[in-house]
């Protein structure tokens, strides 16, 4: 049997180690956390659980690596070469990384394989961007010359969620390292494994000690420490809006730079003139990929009223045929939820929807038989007959639960689409190109699609409006989030000003 966890560095007792200051280490108090496979409930690893002392050590190591080490003086070309080597290493270990993410997160293997490919390409994109021009020169009155350069922010604390364990780590680290920063990555405590393997690969290709640190521990402990530490220059977080607010508050101590990619309740708007089967297909894909555990999931289906009954009949027919199961089964189309606790949270939302008077068209329960008894599985769920004030319409459920709303015209579709605290993503399905652009322009969301849903590109910015976050990831925008802008003025005529008479 292949050991998909062979890339983990372990102590003699088998505990997977953290990576701090170029060393693989146990927790300072020898504490650990058990990591489970959400598809089976089986134990897959025991990982060191970072303490405050471990977090402080990582911060000091990163601070020294940035202030005193060779990394700050490294050239963009040198950083780019390291990122390219790392991308090649990810390709070499693609099968292991994909299997680990499926084992640790539960998503179907084909989804994990896509994530690994995207992760390698993200490093390659930022390797290329590192050496491109990042400044401006200004034509100002003589004898001055004025220009602007971008410099690294410094020590970056990066806190990532469990839904895309490898990819979210790369989205944070690739632009930060390309710009010349140092990183302290805190993966989710329930999905730390691929991040630790990534750190092992980074050590192998030659990142200097302290430039990359991976802390495996609880958010309220080491995550909060990173957010409030005066030695950390920037905090980047992806996760829930409530946690985002607490991180933002903790970061005020030294007014550190922040970027927050938070929740969503994204509308998928389908007009009656849309290509019917395509719209049905993407309505399923928008909500059920990764079991709905996606911040940009199309969790609100806004359907033109005249199309509702026909669309629902076909949507339910296809949703009930989605194959739910273990991500390693090639027939699986939707995997489990991440933990029993999260599954119970989603089930409470389903109960709330029923209590609020929404009509359950399908799902709403665990699968029958052994599958429903062992793993964290829920069936694809659809609610209709909803009203805008319902909690299931307004709040992020983060599971395979679709809520359906109806509209009569463009104005109502736009009003309903914008009627939440979130503004992460939105899609429009219609055969009328002009209408699609009119609607997209008026929807307050940072990521939009026309006649598609979910494609993401390393070259384009990712982030949202309103309470879906602050700042952007990916593209040149993501690179700039990890830089400071410095104005430089040069006097080309070195002589006294003559401003003062004496």
User: How does 196-216 read in b/e, with b if 16+ C-beta sit within 10 Å?
Assistant: bbbbbbbbeeebebbbbbbbb
Whether the Cβ atoms of residue 155 and residue 256 lie closer than 8 Å to each other: no
Alpha carbon distance 356, 131 (integer Å): 55
Candidates 96, 261, 304, 396; catalytic one: 261
Whether the Cβ atoms of residue 389 and residue 420 lie closer than 8 Å to each other: no
Clarify whether 122 is annotated catalytic: no
DSSP string, 59-86: HHHHHHHHHTSSSTT--HHHHHHHHHHH
Candidates 122, 156, 183, 295; catalytic one: 295
User: How does 227-237 read in b/e, with b if 16+ C-beta sit within 10 Å?
Assistant: bbbebbbbbbb
Whether the Cβ atoms of residue 380 and residue 319 lie closer than 8 Å to each other: yes
Alpha carbon distance 491, 363 (integer Å): 71
Q: Give ∠ CA 165-169-175 in degrees, rounded to 5.
A: 155
Clarify whether 156 is annotated catalytic: no
Alpha carbon distance 87, 122 (integer Å): 8
Q: Cα(first)–Cα(last) distance of the chain, in Å?
A: 87
Phi first, then psi, for residue 267 (nearest 5°) are -85, 135
Exposed (0-12), middle (13-18) or buried (19+): which is 322, by Cβ within 10 Å?
A: middle
Pairing assessment for the beta strands 234-238 and 257-261 based on DSSP bridges: parallel
Pairing assessment for the beta strands 182-186 and 212-214 based on DSSP bridges: parallel
Whether the Cβ atoms of residue 315 and residue 281 lie closer than 8 Å to each other: no
190: left (phi over 0), alpha (psi -120 to 50) or beta: alpha
Cα–Cα separations (whole angstroms), residue 386 to 27, 71, 231, 301: 49, 55, 48, 11
Q: What residues form DSSP beta bridges with 153?
A: none
Q: Report which secondary-structure segment, H or E, holds 442.
A: helix 433-442
Tell me which residue has tokens 């052994």: 370
Candidates 219, 228, 283, 276; CA nearest to 256 is 228
Q: Which residues form the catalytic set? A: 261, 295
């Amino acid at each position: 049997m292949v050991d998909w966890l062979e890339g983990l560095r372990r102590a003699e007792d088998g505990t997977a180690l953290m990576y701090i200051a170029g060393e693989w280490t146990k927790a300072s108090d020898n504490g650990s956390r058990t990591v489970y496979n959400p598809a089976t409930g089986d134990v897959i690893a025991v990982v060191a659980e970072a303490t405050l002392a471990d977090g402080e050590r990582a911060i000091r190591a990163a601070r020294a690596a940035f202030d005193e080490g060779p990394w700050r003086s490294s050239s963009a070309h040198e950083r780019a070469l390291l990122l390219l080597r790392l991308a090649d290493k990810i390709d070499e270990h693609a099968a292991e990384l994909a299997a680990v993410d499926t084992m640790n997160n539960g998503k179907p293997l084909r989804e994990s394989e896509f994530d690994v490919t995207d992760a390698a390409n993200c490093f390659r994109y930022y390797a290329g961007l590192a050496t491109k021009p990042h400044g401006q020169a200004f034509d100002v009155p003589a004898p001055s010359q004025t220009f602007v350069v971008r410099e690294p922010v410094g020590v970056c604390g990066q806190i990532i969620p469990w839904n895309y364990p490898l990819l979210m780590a790369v989205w944070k680290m690739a632009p930060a390292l390309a710009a010349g920063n140092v990183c302290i990555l805190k993966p989710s405590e329930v999905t730390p494994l691929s991040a630790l393997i990534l750190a092992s690969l980074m050590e192998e290709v030659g990142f200097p000690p302290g430039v990359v640190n991976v802390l495996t521990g609880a958010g309220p402990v080491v995550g909060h420490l990173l957010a409030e530490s005066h030695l950390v220059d920037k905090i980047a977080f992806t996760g829930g809006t409530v946690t985002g607010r607490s991180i933002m508050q903790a970061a005020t101590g030294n007014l550190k730079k922040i970027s927050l990619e938070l929740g969503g309740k994204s509308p998928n708007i389908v007009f009656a003139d849309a290509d019917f089967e395509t719209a049905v297909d993407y309505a399923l894909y928008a909500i059920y990929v990764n079991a709905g555990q996606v911040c940009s999931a199309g969790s609100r289906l806004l359907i033109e009223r005249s199309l509702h009954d026909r669309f629902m009949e076909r949507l339910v027919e296809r949703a009930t045929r989605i194959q739910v199961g273990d991500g390693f089964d090639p027939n699986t189309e939707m995997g489990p939820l991440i933990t029993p606790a999260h599954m119970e949270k989603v089930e409470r939302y389903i109960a709330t929807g029923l209590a609020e008077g929404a009509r359950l068209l399908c799902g709403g329960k665990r699968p029958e038989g052994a599958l429903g008894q062992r793993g964290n599985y829920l069936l694809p769920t659809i609610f209709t007959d909803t009203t805008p004030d319902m909690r299931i319409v307004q709040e992020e459920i983060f599971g395979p639960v679709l809520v359906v709303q109806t509209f009569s015209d463009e104005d109502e579709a736009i009003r309903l689409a914008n009627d939440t605290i979130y503004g992460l993503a939105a899609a429009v399905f219609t055969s009328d190109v002009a209408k699609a652009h009119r609607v997209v322009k008026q929807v307050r969301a940072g990521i939009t699609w026309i006649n598609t849903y979910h494609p993401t590109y390393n070259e384009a910015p990712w982030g949202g409006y309103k309470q879906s976050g602050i700042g952007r990831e990916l593209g040149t925008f993501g690179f700039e989030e990890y830089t400071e802008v410095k104005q430089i003025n040069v006097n080309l005529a070195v002589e006294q000003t003559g401003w003062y008479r004496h």
